[in-house]
Amino acid sequence: MAHQMDLDTIAAYWNGRAVEFDSEHDTEDLALWSQTLEQAIGLNGDGAVLDVGTGTGFLALLLSKLGYAASGVDIAADMLAQGAEKAKCFGLQVDFQEAACERLPYADETFDAVVNCRVMWTLTAPEEAVREWKRVLKPGGKVISFMRMMDMTGGDFYGGIDLPLTVGTREAYCEVYDAAGLKRITVTELPEAMSSQEPHWTMFVGMKP
């Protein structure tokens, strides 16, 4: 279970990185990201989509641009503030909310898809989180996770808090999806052009039955 004290420590870590985050995380080919996201969701911009661990709003802003009713949650208020600033700047609509992705402030079956990018490795309780994402999905809705496949075991990101997915294997991610009750799980290796600076992207899709 994700404990509040751990979540506070994690929020403080990301709040401390908020200002530099975008310049340190290159996702250069935005057209390719948009196309990949739209193909995975498959609703032509017609639907409600939640970006969990949205940070500075990378996927949430793309979703809004694609025409989706976009929402984004994160525990780090300073990351969200950067996202809100960008949304204002680009004239995009995103409903940003400060919340833990294991305890979402939404009713059951609210969203057509729940997406996330670079988030699952940072979670203390990934299976609990995916179950919560599944709860807010409509039946037939998808969880879509973008992750770089890197083994980060041994790294101490939050001062000793255990992060089960730092191992970074595709099998480990699929096991979490499966344990949370998602079906029709697919794993897609994405082209290097997604980001030359940060390679090895994989997309995991699972459906709520």
Ligand X SMILES: C[S@@+](CC[C@H](N)C(=O)[O-])C[C@H]1O[C@@H](n2cnc3c(N)ncnc32)[C@H](O)[C@@H]1O
Token pair in block for residue 14? 């990301």
CA atoms within 13 A on the CB side of 145: 29
User: Tokens 């390679």 map to which residue?
Assistant: 199
Identify each DSSP E strand in 90-200 by its residue range. Answer: 94-98, 111-117, 137-148, 183-189
Among 76, 114, 182, 205, binds ligand X (CB under 6 A): 76
- Closest separation between CB of residue 124 and ligand X, Å? 7
- Closest separation between CB of residue 148 and ligand X, Å? 10
- Closest separation between CB of residue 146 and ligand X, Å? 7
| Residue 86 interacting with ligand X (CB under 6 A) | no
- Closest separation between CB of residue 122 and ligand X, Å? 4
| Residue 74 interacting with ligand X (CB under 6 A) | yes
Phi, psi of 48 (to 5 degrees): -110, 125
Nearest to 200 by CA among 138, 151, 133: 151
Q: Which is nearer to ligand X, 14 or 204 (CB)?
A: 14
| Residue 132 interacting with ligand X (CB under 6 A) | no
Nearest to 49 by CA among 65, 25, 35, 29: 65
- Closest separation between CB of residue 145 and ligand X, Å? 10
**Using CA atoms, how far apart are residues 148 and 44, in angstroms rounded to an integer?**
26
Instruction: Give the relative orientation of helices 126-136 and 170-179 as an angle to the nearest 10 degrees.
Output: 50
Among 36, 122, 145, 195, binds ligand X (CB under 6 A): 122
Query: In this chain, which stretch among 31-39, 47-55, 63-71, 170-178 interacts with ligand X, using CB under 6 A?
Result: 47-55
CB 101 within 8 A of CB 132: yes
Among 41, 61, 117, 137, binds ligand X (CB under 6 A): 117
Q: x/- site string to ligand X, residues 12 to 41, per CB under 6 A?
A: --x----------x----------------
51: three-class secondary structure by DSSP: strand
Q: Which is nearer to ligand X, 27 or 207 (CB)?
A: 27
> Regarding beta strands 111-117 and 48-52, do their DSSP bridges make them parallel or antiparallel, or are they unpaired?
parallel
Site for ligand X in 153-182 (CB under 6 A): none
Binding site for ligand X (CB under 6 A): 2, 7, 10, 14, 25, 53-56, 58, 73-76, 79, 100-102, 117-119, 122-123
